[in-house]
Chain A
Amino acid sequence: MPRLSAGQRHRVSFSLNGRPVAGEAEPRLLLSDFLRGVLGATGTHVGCEHGVCGACTVQIDGVPARACLTLAVQAEGADIRTVEGLAPAPGRLSVLQESFREHHALQCGFCTPGILMSLDAFLRQRPDASEAELRYMLSGHLCRCTGYVPIMRAALAARDRLREEPNA
């Protein structure tokens, strides 16, 4: 049984956006801080640190989850996807990201990475998601700028576009 001691750093490795990564973490280090502080992947934002605001939402093995409620050591061997993995190529945005840009679905942008990771997973799982279902998914995120209306508009537009071109 592996026992990792407090106060010492231990090697943690997983797949980040399709690439193997590794770093050193104390058992108490949160996945959100491991991503940002150890791996330098600062796209994932840290808000409330108790699972309420949704800013730190990433995909763990394909499903959205709070990075602030996950220890880095729990992510050993997992498939982690973050906002850095959404764009298909440098200089190109994903359909969902492009839709956010087009519909002004962000102002300060702090909540955006988490919302994108939730919606990206949900639209993949439920390409025919209704407006009510998308709204329900969005209830796991706080945005203090937009009033959510443009976010919903962007989510619906992205859904429609992805339905027409699922591989876009």
Chain B
Amino acid sequence: MKPAPFDYVRASDGAEVLDVLHRQGADARILAGGQSLLPMLNMRLARPAVLVDIMHVPSLQSIADDGTALRIGAAVRQAELEARPDLARRQKLLAAALPWIGHAQTRSRGTVCGSVAHADPSAELPLLLVALGGTVHLRSRRRHRAVEAGAFFTGMMATDRADDELIEAVSIPTARPGAGYAFREIGRRHGDFAIVACAAVVENGRARLGIGGVADRPVAQDMPGPDDEALDEALDAFAWALEARDDLHATARYRRELVRRLGRATIEEAARCRA
């Protein structure tokens, strides 16, 4: 349970980060809060040649609210976002979901973008990003591009990020007037990986439901509203489409049932909470 040897670079500006990624590509890993990467290193599931610590890069440390989205820099810790006094007002889904991420003792160091980069299929932040239609901002020496969250997650811990790209920020849409938001999760214990996590948005009588923990990536789908009798059928179709599998924590059947029931409960809660 000790990492294999690697070089450590403490970058002081963004150009240094991109230089290392440009030169070493897949052999380099970004070290931000380390709360997903360090377990991988300790278990030697990852053996990078070099780690680039981005936590001392000033340009990555800010949260910007442009009125329609929160743009969260790569060095922003989850606890910092959680502590924003206006968070529940700006995006209730974030305020509801953040306490479910790991533990207070890991959110103190873990970053928002790091969780997105790690792309665990049961992780809350990738789910929120997909459910809300957020954006991932990627930068390399070659280019800068913005990728929609739905296209960013490509499989189990796999993303659209190229080896020389840094996730410099993610944009999470803020609450729209008249829209309701809700988050629910079932796990064995608080802080465990989600067996099923649901994020719902209800707006103009229609719903959008995101599901984490079932497919190999977070998936969101438009749904009929909570008062529409077509909702149950849509939830059932969604539950089957996610191709749940049995594992140590739950059966595929149980997960499908949670998508139907917890999915409906989350949509109903979102409808009740409309601003």
Contacts and interface: CB of A to CB of B under 8 A. Distances in A.
A51 B5 contact: no
A49 B1 contact: yes
Interface string A21-34: 00000111010010
Contacts of B254: none
B9 A140 contact: no
A54 B10 contact: no
Contact of B5 (A28, A66, A68, A137): A28
Contacts of B42: 30, 49-50, 68
Interface string B2-38: 1111111111100010000000000000010011001
Contact of A60 (B7, B12, B109): B109
Contact of B9 (A2, A66, A76): A2
Interface in B46-105: 49, 51, 53, 55, 79, 99, 102-105
Nearest to B1: A49
A30 B51 CA distance: 14
B43 to A, nearest CB: 6
A45 B99 CA distance: 26
A73 interface: yes
B79 to A, nearest CB: 7
Interface string A71-105: 10110100000000000000000000000000000
A26 B10 contact: no
Residue of B8, B49, B104, B105 contacting most chain A CB atoms (<10 Å): B105
B217 to A, nearest CB: 23
Contacts of A40: none
A51 B35 contact: yes
A65 B8 contact: no
Nearest to A48: B1
Q: Which of A4, A51, A63 has the most CB of B within 10 A?
A: A51
Contact of A28 (B3, B105, B109, B191): B3
A50 B43 contact: yes
A70 interface: yes
Nearest to B99: A136
A94 to B, nearest CB: 19
Contacts of B11: 1
A139 B82 CA distance: 18
Contact of B39 (A6, A69, A118): A69
B106 A69 contact: yes
Given A69-B109, A70-B34, A118-B105, A28 B39 contact: no
Contacts of B9: 1-4
A64 B103 CA distance: 10
Nearest to B109: A65
Contacts of A139: 103, 189-191
B251 interface: no
Given A49-B42, A51-B39, A6 B105 contact: no
Nearest to B9: A3
Interface in A1-59: 1-7, 26-28, 30, 33, 49-51, 54, 57
Contacts of B5: 6-7, 26-28
Interface in A95-153: 118, 122, 136-137, 139-140
Given A69-B106, A137-B104, A139-B103, A1 B12 contact: yes
B108 interface: yes
Interface of A: 1-7, 26-28, 30, 33, 49-51, 54, 57, 60, 63-66, 68-71, 73-74, 76, 118, 122, 136-137, 139-140
What 7 A-B pairs come out closest when comparing CB atoms? Answer: A140-B103, A27-B8, A6-B5, A50-B39, A49-B1, A69-B38, A63-B108
